C-alpha cells in the first residue's frame, strides 16, 4: 500500500537536500526536462499563431471560471440526458466514499485505473483497498511506482525518478522472474501483466482532462492507450474530475487538445485522445454499461473566490515543471504535495496551508519561465509573490520596522540625509574592495554571505548633479 506520509510532507529543505545529493535523479531530471522542453519548442513552432491560440484558450478558461456554477449545471444535465450519473464531492473524503459506494453497489471487486492526479489528490487507492476492492494502476509508470509504494514525481512522467535497473528490480520482485533491464522487455512485461487485469476488471477509474458542458463528454488523453482500455473493458466507468476541468462548448475542445499535447511533450496530438459521450449505446459490443461522473471541490471553491482563481486554469500539462530551474534540480518529491513544480508551489499552499508549506512560495527565482511555457499563460510569478505577501502579512519583524522608521526619519530631513550619506561613505571605505562589498560584519553579513553589494561611489550623484546643473545653465 502507498505510504502517503513518505512523499507528502512539509520538509521542503530536507527533500531538496536529498534530491540534490542524488546523482542518478539529477541525471534523470536533466534528461527529462531537456527532452520535453525541446519537444515543446518544436511543437509550438508548428503552430504559426500559437500565441493567439493561447490567448483564446485563456479567455475560454477565464469565462468558464466566471460562470462555473452555470457550466457545472449544464454538464450535469448533459450527462444525465445520456444516461450517466453525476455525483458531487465536497472533499477528498466525500470522493473516496462516493467511489467506494459505487463499487459496492455495482458489485465490483477489481478496478483498473488510468493515470489521474485528482485520484492521487484524494488518496483513492488505499480507500478502495480497505473496502476490499483491488485497484491496479495501468499507466506503465504509475504501475511501477504503485508496486514501489511511491507517488508520481512529475505530471506526465510519474516514474522519472526510477531507472531501468530499479524498474527491472521492482518488476522482477513482482513476477518472481529475473527480468533484464531492457526497456522493451520491461514495458512488454507490463503489457502482459496488465492485460490480465483489464480482462477481468469490473470497474474502470479515470481522471478527466476536459469535460464538455454542452455535450456531457469527458476527454482522456494518453500515449499508452491505458485510458482507452480502462473505458473499454470494465462494465462500470467512474470518472473523477476537479470541478475546474469543465469547458463550455464542443468546439472549445480542439483548442485545448492542440495546446495540451504540445505543452506536455511537443506532440501535435497525443497518441490517443478519447472523447467519451455517455455509456455504451444499444447494440454496441464494448464500453461501460454504467457511467458515473464525480465532480470534486476539495478546496477549489475557496480558491475560486480569491485572486488565486487563475491557478484553476491549469490543464496539468507539466510544461512549467520542465521550464523551472528549481524543479529541474529538485524533482517532484521534494515539494511534498501531490502537485509539484511552479504550479504545485501555488496549489499546495492554497489547498494544504501556507504556514505548513512556508518554503514553497519561495521555491522560485521569479524568472518567469513557467509563465512563458504555460499553454494558458497562467501568471504563476504573480501568485507566488502574492503568497509571499500573505505569508508575512500581519507578522512584522521588529528589527525591520525599526530600520524603516529610521529610514523615514532620515528621508524627511535633508540635513540628516546628507550626514547619513557622508557617514555611510566613511563607514564603507574600509570594507569596500574594487567597488564592491564582499564581506560585511554584523547582521548585514546575512546579505554578503550569499551575494555581493555595490559600494557607494567616491563622489555621490547629488554632488555631481549640482555641477551638471551648473554647466547646463
By CB under 8 A, the residues from 227 to 246 that bind another protein are 228-229, 231-233, 243
297-356 binders of another protein (CB under 8 A)? 297, 301-302, 304-307, 309
In angstroms, give the least distance from the CB of 16 to another protein.
23
Q: To 10 degrees, the CA torsion angle through 300, 304, 310, 313? A: 50
Q: Which of 1, 21, 23, 48 binds another protein (CB under 8 A)?
A: 48
Q: How many positions of this chain bind another protein (CB under 8 A)?
A: 102
Q: In 3D, which of 386, 429, 424, 426 has the Cα closest to residue 406? A: 424
Interacting residue with another protein among 103, 108, 294, 295 (CB under 8 A): 295
Whether residue 37 contacts residue 341, with contact meaning beta carbons closer than 8 Å, is answered with: no
DSSP 64-127: HHHTHHHHHHHHHHHHHHTT-EEEEESSHHHHHHHHHHHHHHTT--EEEE---HHHHHTTHHHH
Helix-strand-coil split of the chain, %, nearest 5: 55, 10, 35
Q: Residue 6 Cβ, how far from another protein at the closest point, in Å?
A: 21
Strand pairing of 436-437 and 453-454? antiparallel
Question: Is 158 near another protein (CB under 8 A)?
Answer: yes
Nearer to another protein, 23 or 305 (CB): 305
Instruction: Please list every residue from 187 through 226 that binds another protein, using CB under 8 A.
Output: 187-188, 190-191, 194-195, 199, 214-215, 217, 223-226
- Smallest distance, another protein to C-beta of residue 422, A: 47
Phi/psi at 278 (5° precision): 80, 175
Instruction: Candidates 26, 80, 131, 248: give the one binding another protein (CB under 8 A).
Output: 248
Q: Could you give the CA distance from residue 297 to residue 360 in angstroms, rounded to a whole number? A: 23
By CB under 8 A, what part of segment 89-148 binds another protein? 90, 94, 138-141, 144
The residue among 422, 452, 426 whose CA lies nearest residue 439 is: 452
Decide whether 72 or 320 has the Cβ nearer to another protein: 72
Contact pattern for another protein over residues 390 through 429, marking x by CB under 8 A: ----------------------------------------
Looking at beta carbons only, is 208 or 304 nearer to another protein? 304
Amino acid at each position: 500500500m502507498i505510504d502517503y506520509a513518505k512523499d507528502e510532507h512539509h520538509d521542503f529543505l530536507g527533500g531538496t537536500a536529498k534530491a540534490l545529493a542524488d546523482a542518478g535523479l539529477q541525471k534523470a531530471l536533466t534528461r527529462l526536462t531537456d527532452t520535453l522542453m525541446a519537444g515543446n519548442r518544436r511543437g509550438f513552432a508548428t503552430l504559426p499563431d500559437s500565441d493567439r491560440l493561447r490567448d483564446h484558450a485563456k479567455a475560454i478558461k477565464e469565462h468558464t471560471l466566471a460562470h462555473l456554477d452555470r457550466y457545472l449545471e449544464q454538464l450535469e444535465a448533459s450527462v444525465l440526458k445520456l444516461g450517466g450519473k453525476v455525483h458531487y464531492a465536497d472533499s477528498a473524503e466525500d470522493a473516496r466514499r462516493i467511489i467506494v459506494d459505487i463499487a459496492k453497489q455495482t458489485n465490483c471487486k477489481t478496478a483498473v485505473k488510468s493515470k489521474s492526479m485528482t485520484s492521487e489528490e484524494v488518496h483513492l487507492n488505499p480507500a478502495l483497498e480497505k473496502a476490499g476492492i483491488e485497484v491496479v494502476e495501468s499507466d506503465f509508470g504509475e504501475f511501477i511506482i504503485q508496486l514501489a509504494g511511491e507517488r508520481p514525481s512529475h505530471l506526465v512522467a510519474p516514474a522519472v525518478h526510477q531507472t531501468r535497473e530499479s524498474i527491472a528490480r521492482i518488476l522482477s520482485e513482482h513476477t518472481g522472474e529475473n527480468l533484464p533491464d531492457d526497456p522493451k522487455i520491461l514495458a512488454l512485461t507490463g503489457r502482459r501483466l496488465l492485460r490480465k487485469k483489464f480482462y477481468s476488471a469490473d470497474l474502470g477509474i479515470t481522471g478527466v482532462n476536459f469535460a464538455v458542458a454542452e455535450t456531457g463528454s469527458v476527454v482522456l488523453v494518453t500515449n499508452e492507450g491505458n485510458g482507452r482500455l480502462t473505458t473499454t473493458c470494465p462494465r462500470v466507468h467512474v470518472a473523477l474530475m476537479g470541478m475546474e476541468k469543465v469547458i463550455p462548448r464542443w468546439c472549445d475542445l480542439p483548442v485545448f487538445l492542440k495546446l495540451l499535447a504540445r505543452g506536455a511533450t511537443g506532440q501535435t496530438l497525443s497518441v490517443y485522445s478519447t472523447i467519451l459521450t455517455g455509456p455504451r449505446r444499444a447494440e454496441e459490443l464494448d464500453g461501460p454499461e454504467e457511467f458515473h461522473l464525480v465532480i470534486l471541490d476539495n478546496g477549489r471553491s475557496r480558491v475560486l473566490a480569491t485572486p488565486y482563481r487563475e491557478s484553476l486554469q491549469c490543464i496539468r500539462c507539466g510544461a512549467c515543471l520542465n521550464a523551472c530551474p528549481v524543479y529541474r534540480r529538485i524533482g517532484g518529491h521534494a515539494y511534498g504535495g501531490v502537485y509539484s513544480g511552479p504550479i504545485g508551489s501555488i496549489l499546495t499552499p492554497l489547498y494544504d496551508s501556507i504556514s505548513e508549506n512556508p518554503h514553497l512560495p519561495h521555491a522560485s527565482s521569479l524568472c518567469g519561465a513557467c509563465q512563458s511555457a504555460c499553454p494558458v499563460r497562467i501568471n504563476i510569478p504573480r501568485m507566488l509573490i502574492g503568497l509571499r505577501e500573505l505569508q508575512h502579512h500581519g507578522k512584522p519583524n521588529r528589527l525591520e520596522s525599526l530600520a524603516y522608521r529610521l529610514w523615514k526619519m532620515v528621508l524627511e530631513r535633508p540635513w540628516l540625509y546628507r550626514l547619513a550619506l557622508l557617514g555611510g561613505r566613511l563607514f564603507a571605505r574600509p570594507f569596500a574592495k574594487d567597488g564592491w562589498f564582499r564581506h560585511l560584519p554584523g547582521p548585514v553579513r546575512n546579505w554578503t554571505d550569499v551575494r555581493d553589494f555595490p559600494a557607494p561611489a567616491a563622489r555621490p550623484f547629488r554632488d555631481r548633479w549640482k555641477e551638471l546643473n551648473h554647466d547646463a545653465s
